Amino acid sequence: MSKYILFGDIHLRNDRPLARLDLDWMQTQRDVLFFIADLANARHADVIDTGDNFNTPRVPDEVKSLYLEFVARCNGMVHTIPANHTLPYHQMKNINESSIGVLASIAKLHTPNLVVHMCDEANEDGRFEHSTYLTDDVLLCHTLTFPSEDEIPFYGKATSAQHLMMKYRKAKWILLGDNHHHFMVNEDDRFVINPGTPIPQVADMLDYGPGVYYIDTEAEEVEWIPVPFDKSMLTDDHITEQHERDERIAAFMEAIPKDGKVSLSFEDNFAKAVESSGLDQNALNFIEEIKNGE
């Protein structure tokens, strides 16, 4: 097969992330997975999942079952690899202690269209790298990568597309996971493609447009396809609330008198500090919440 739908970093989980407002988080994830499966079927393509299909090394059965539902919906093959979030201590030797290891065993026994490819692994200055060749010229690699050296954040434990092309000279197609933002680099008739995440789960992705790549390696065709995303289901309210809470604590601490008049009673000292603090009503309400154990 030379046609693929490429995605990665879906981070399936049964607990709804803080930044999501979905009433049924499992169904939201199912909808995205089924969109990917139906797209692959319509394009007569296999699926490549470049890792971190689960958010933690061990997930509940309902999350593993969700991924297997997705595999069963695909007409073609589904290729995936273990990665840092799915391997205990980020190491392949621990795969039998993980949910991705369970998928690998199920694939061998009962699911012929699912392949969990074992990887070579490296740790370069704290950056984990898991890689394997799908074909002679297609490499699957899960490691934090940016399009160029200039785009790597200061002190970031990451690599660049150019570095990977130099390291894996045999690969015409380097298909990546780990960076949750999508990009493609095409140089000297070679491709480095990172699909990003199809389901944004954090507040700093409010303006992100998730999607997947359609790739035809024979025709050398690459197409970015957006995934349906209801931006109203992503919020940064929890961050705002935390900032406000921190500010109220800081204001209270600053307002505590430092005149040396201290009682032996903590409650007396606390009440006096509040009384003389001049705090606004929001801060006073917050202090009352603390006193009442709310």
Residue 75: per-residue pLDDT: 98
Contacts (Cβ under 8 Å, ≥6 apart) of 78:
46, 47, 49, 70, 71, 113, 114, 115
Residue 273: per-residue pLDDT: 65
Q: Are residues 184 and 215 in the same domain?
A: yes
Residue 248: per-residue pLDDT: 60
Please identify, among 184, 215, 233, the residue that sits at the C-terminal boundary of a domain. Answer: 233
Alpha-carbon span 278 to 198, nearest angstrom: 49
Residues of the chain with pLDDT under 70: 1, 238-294
> Kind of pairing, strands 173-177 and 211-216?
unpaired
Name the burial class of residue 56, with classes exposed (0-12), middle (13-18) and buried (19+) by CB atoms within 10 angstroms of its CB: middle
Q: Are residues 224 and 246 in the same domain?
A: no
CATH number of the domain encompassing residue 27:
3.60.21.10
One-letter amino acid at 169 equals R
**Structural domain for 249, as ranges:** 237-291
Residue 136: per-residue pLDDT: 96
Please identify, among 209, 233, 257, the residue that sits at the C-terminal boundary of a domain. Answer: 233
The structural domain count of the chain equals 2
Q: At what angle do helices 237-255 and 281-291 cross, to 10 degrees?
A: 90
Q: Are residues 25 and 140 in the same domain?
A: yes
pTM: 0.82
Residue 256: per-residue pLDDT: 55
Q: Are residues 68 and 137 in the same domain?
A: yes
The residues pairing with 135 across neighbouring beta strands, listed in sequence order, are: 138
Q: Are residues 159 and 272 in the same domain?
A: no
Q: Are residues 20 and 115 in the same domain?
A: yes
- Phi and psi (nearest 5°) for 89? 60, 20
Residue 262: per-residue pLDDT: 47
- What is the per-residue DSSP string for 38-83? HHHHHTT-EEEE-S--BSSSS--HHHHHHHHHHHHH-SS-EEE---
- Phi and psi (nearest 5°) for 187? -135, 135
Q: Are residues 64 and 176 in the same domain?
A: yes
Residue 156: per-residue pLDDT: 81
In angstroms, the Cα distances linking 104 to 49, 82, 95, 113, 258 are: 14, 10, 9, 12, 63
Q: Are residues 203 and 264 in the same domain?
A: no
Could you report the per-residue pLDDT of 86-112, keeping only the tens digit for each? 999 999 999 999 999 999 999 988 889
Alpha-carbon span 278 to 44, nearest angstrom: 69
Could you report the per-residue pLDDT of 189-212, keeping only the tens digit for each? 999 999 999 999 999 999 999 999
Q: Are residues 225 and 262 in the same domain?
A: no
One-letter amino acid at 235 equals T
Residue 292: per-residue pLDDT: 61
Residue 38: per-residue pLDDT: 98
Q: Are residues 78 and 181 in the same domain?
A: yes
